[in-house]
């Protein structure tokens, strides 16, 4: 074997010597840094092999490895640079440690880099005695496992034996056990089960999804057989699910499941009610109730023939879920299995849940007369982050008022007079529809109205306080001018003069009224002073038998000339009548002859007047 040239050998020795020196320097430097670093950090991941982004659980343990307390707080940071607030900013004493556990989604860049890096910032004493801060990075190594598509398909039939008209659930569970997401899942069932395909859009890596077909059992068995297709990494896959029989049977144990509400926010409770009815003649013993999500719900139950029993189970909402109770029991040494229908509970977004607060006050908590009218004031406050629409307030089943809307954080009120028939408790409730279309009710506190008999209050005698007299000095003079006395004397004289005039005026008025009364009485007694009720038409000529004939003159004069003699002769009859007026009887007879109609009318008027007076006297 040939030896190496001297120059090459020398070069090799020099290179080896340089490498040894470098390693020694690095070792000494690392030892010095380790001696100076007061923090020890250990990190663990729930998985270290990844084929794609996935969420993992991270556990970090931080310790103070020195014999002295740290001069200041420390903080922990995500790979993104954001501080982990759950860890806080503790100041570790000598030998003290703190652990944080959380989650982190591993990214594609981290998978390619082969590590997940977290950082810690802590305080230390510098050489000059001041407090300085330092950031150290710590990482955990990971591996790229590549894309792996792996799906597990499970089918469950509940119940396995069903009576006529009972609903049967055929449940398909798609479990993604691979490292990449599964998309576009299509489940094609037999036409006897469903003529519509079931679809699941996405099943993330490491998760599972379910799809349920519901069929009503007839009087013969049914067969389930399905073909499942899906995609993973843009590659299509197809799997065939073998046949399974849904058996028909005359089951006498009937199980029904119901919930008091359709769902709610995370943390709310829902009450599930299971009703078991025994339609047979044999008792069912050793009944066990199970659910795919809840596990064993009840055990050791029994239902006698012809009886119905009820059991309740309260659950806390964590996420949307479906519940179907499977009931297994024995009757006459025969094992029987049945199931309830599926009940779905929906978890809603807590930020969109409507919450109301109802308060009420009354103006008269005690009444003394029944029935009585009291005044209630009701306040409804929207304590949620969303508006509440169509809020109806009622009491004892009677709707009192409806608010069209109550914005988030605001209060609405109304006043209502209520007729109280008896003493008792009163409560108001506000009703609103929630996200699931259900009517949700919020109640006020109870308001107690009592009835009491009024008690008469004793009458208190007022205490008289004597008035302390005050001395006032009366003036000796009125302070008026001298002419005022003269004016007052004239006014006194004028007062008496006007009084005398007033008395005389009153006397004259009385005399006048008396005279008028006497004249009226005399006029009423005179029956012939007026033709009261008679009537005469002076436009008609006097009848011939009553007409007065003037004596004829033998002298023929000009008919157009009227002499004084003729005038005297014309006035003669009037004078003759006037002369005979001294005899009233003769005048009346002559007037009757001349005016018989007027005389008759006067007689009738006198008779009517007499009749009226007689009736007035009789009354």
Q: How far apart are the first and last CA of the chain?
A: 183
DSSP state of 118: E
**Average pLDDT for residues 146-160, to the nearest whole number?**
86
Q: How far apart are CA 198 and CA 427, in angstroms?
A: 49
pLDDT band (50, 70, 90) for residue 4 = very low
The Cβ of residue 403 has, within 10 Å, a number of other Cβ atoms equal to: 18
pLDDT band (50, 70, 90) for residue 584 = low
3-class DSSP state for residue 107?
coil
Nearest to 176 by CA among 156, 202, 152: 152
Return the pLDDT at 23: 45
Pairing of the two strands 424-426 and 429-433: unpaired
Please determine, for residue 487, whether its predicted confidence score (pLDDT) is greater than 80. Answer: no
Residues of the chain with pLDDT > 90: what percent? 44
Fold of domain 253-348: Immunoglobulin-like (2.60.40)
For residue 384, the Cα-to-chain-centroid distance in whole angstroms is 13
The CATH number of the domain covering residues in 37-144: 2.60.40
Q: Is 221 exposed, middle or buried (0-12, 13-18, 19+ CB in 10 A)?
A: middle
**Average pLDDT for residues 325-354, to the nearest whole number?**
90
**Average pLDDT for residues 282-311, to the nearest whole number?**
94
**Average pLDDT for residues 240-265, to the nearest whole number?**
91
**Average pLDDT for residues 332-358, to the nearest whole number?**
90
Please determine, for residue 261, whether its predicted confidence score (pLDDT) is greater than 50. Answer: yes
Task: Indicate the range of 207-216, 482-491, 578-587 predicted with least confidence.
Answer: 578-587
Return the pLDDT at 388: 93
Domain edges within the chain: 37-144, 151-248, 253-348, 350-451, 584-613
Segment 20-30, tens digit of pLDDT: 544 444 443 43
Cα-trace Rg, the chain: 63
Return the pLDDT at 3: 42
Please determine, for residue 350, whether its predicted confidence score (pLDDT) is greater than 50. Answer: yes
pLDDT band (50, 70, 90) for residue 250 = confident
Q: Across the beta sheet with 366-367, what order do the strands follow?
A: 366-367, 447-451, 424-426
Say whether the peptide bond before residue 70 is cis (omega within 30 degrees of 0): no
Nearest to 298 by CA among 273, 267, 332, 335: 273
CA contacts within 13 A on the Cβ side of 324 = 18
Pairing of the two strands 343-348 and 263-265: parallel
DSSP state of 83: B
Return the pLDDT at 28: 39
Helix axes 596-618, 584-594, angle to 10 degrees: 120
From the candidate CATH numbers 2.40.50.1020, 3.20.20.70, 3.20.20.370, 2.60.40.10, the one assigned to the domain spanning 350-451: 2.60.40.10
Q: How far apart are CA 425 and CA 422, in angstroms?
A: 10
Q: How far apart are CA 73 and CA 69, in angstroms?
A: 10
151-248 belongs to CATH 2.60.40.10: yes
**Counts for the chain of helices (H) and strands (E), in that order:** 6, 36
pLDDT band (50, 70, 90) for residue 418 = confident
């Amino acid at each position: 074997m040939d030896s190496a040239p001297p120059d090459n050998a020398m070069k090799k020795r020099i290179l080896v010597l340089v490498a040894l020196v470098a390693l020694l320097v690095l070792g000494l430097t690392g030892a010095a840094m380790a001696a100076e670093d007061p923090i020890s950090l250990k990190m663990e991941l729930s998985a270290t092999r990844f084929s794609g982004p996935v969420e993992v659980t991270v556990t970090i343990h931080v310790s103070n490895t020195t014999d002295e307390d740290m001069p200041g707080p420390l903080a922990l940071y995500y790979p993104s640079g954001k501080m982990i607030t759950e860890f806080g900013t503790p100041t570790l004493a000598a030998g003290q440690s703190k652990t944080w556990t959380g989650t982190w989604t591993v990214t594609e860049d981290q998978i390619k880099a082969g590590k997940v890096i977290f950082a810690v910032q802590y305080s230390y004493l510098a050489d000059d005695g001041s407090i300085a801060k330092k950031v150290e990075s710590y990482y955990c190594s990971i591996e790229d496992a590549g894309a792996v598509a792996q799906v597990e398909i499970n089918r469950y039939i509940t119940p396995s034996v069903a009576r006529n008209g009972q609903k049967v659930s055929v449940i398909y569970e798609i479990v993604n056990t691979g490292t990449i997401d599964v998309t576009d899942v299509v489940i094609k069932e037999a036409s006897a089960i469903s003529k519509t395909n079931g679809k699941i859009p996405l099943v993330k890596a490491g998760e599972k999804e379910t799809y349920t077909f519901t069929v009503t059992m007839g009087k013969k068995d049914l067969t389930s057989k399905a073909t499942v297709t899906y995609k993973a990494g843009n590659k299509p896959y197809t799997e065939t699910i073998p046949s399974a029989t849904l058996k028909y049977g005359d089951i006498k144990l009937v199980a029904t499941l119901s919930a008091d509400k359709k769902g709610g926010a995370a943390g709310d409770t829902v009450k599930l009610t299971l009703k078991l009815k025994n339609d047979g003649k044999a008792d069912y013993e050793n009944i066990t109730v199970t659910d795919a999500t809840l596990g064993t719900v009840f055990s050791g139950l029994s239902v006698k023939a012809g009886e119905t029993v009820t059991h309740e189970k309260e659950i806390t909402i964590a996420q949307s879920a479906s519940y179907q109770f499977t009931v297994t029991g024995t009757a006459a040494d025969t094992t029987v299995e049945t199931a309830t229908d599926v009940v779905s509970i929906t978890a809603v977004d807590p930020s969109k849940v409507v919450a109301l607060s109802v308060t009420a006050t009354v103006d008269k908590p005690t009444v003394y007369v029944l029935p009585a009218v009291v005044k209630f004031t009701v306040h409804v406050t929207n304590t949620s982050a969303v508006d509440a629409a169509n809020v109806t307030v009622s009491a004892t089943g009677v709707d009192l008022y409806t608010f069209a809307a109550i914005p988030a954080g605001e209060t609405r009120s109304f006043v209502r007079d209520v007729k109280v028939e008896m003493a008792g408790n009163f409560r108001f409730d506000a009703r609103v529809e929630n996200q699931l279309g259900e009517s949700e009710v919020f109640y006020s506190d109870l308001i107690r109205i009592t009835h009491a008999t009024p008690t008469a209050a004793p009458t208190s005698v007022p205490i008289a306080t004597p008035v302390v007299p005050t001395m006032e000095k009366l003036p000796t003079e009125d302070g008026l001018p001298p002419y005022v006395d003269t004016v007052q004397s004239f006014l006194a004289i004028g007062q008496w003069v006007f009084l005398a005039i007033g008395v005389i005026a009153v006397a004259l008025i009385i005399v006048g009224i008396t005279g008028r009364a006497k004249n009226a009485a005399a006029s009423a007694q005179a029956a012939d002073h007026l033709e009261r009720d008679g009537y005469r038409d002076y436009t008609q000529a006097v009848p011939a038998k009553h007409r007065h004939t003037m004596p004829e003159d033998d002298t023929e004069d000009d008919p157009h000339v009227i002499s004084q003699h003729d005038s005297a002769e014309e006035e003669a009859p009037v004078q003759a009548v006037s002369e005979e007026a001294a005899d009233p009887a003769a005048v009346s007879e002559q007037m009757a002859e001349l005016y018989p109609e007027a005389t008759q009318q006067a007689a009738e008027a006198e008779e009517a007047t007499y009749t009226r007076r007689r009736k007035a006297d009789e009354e």
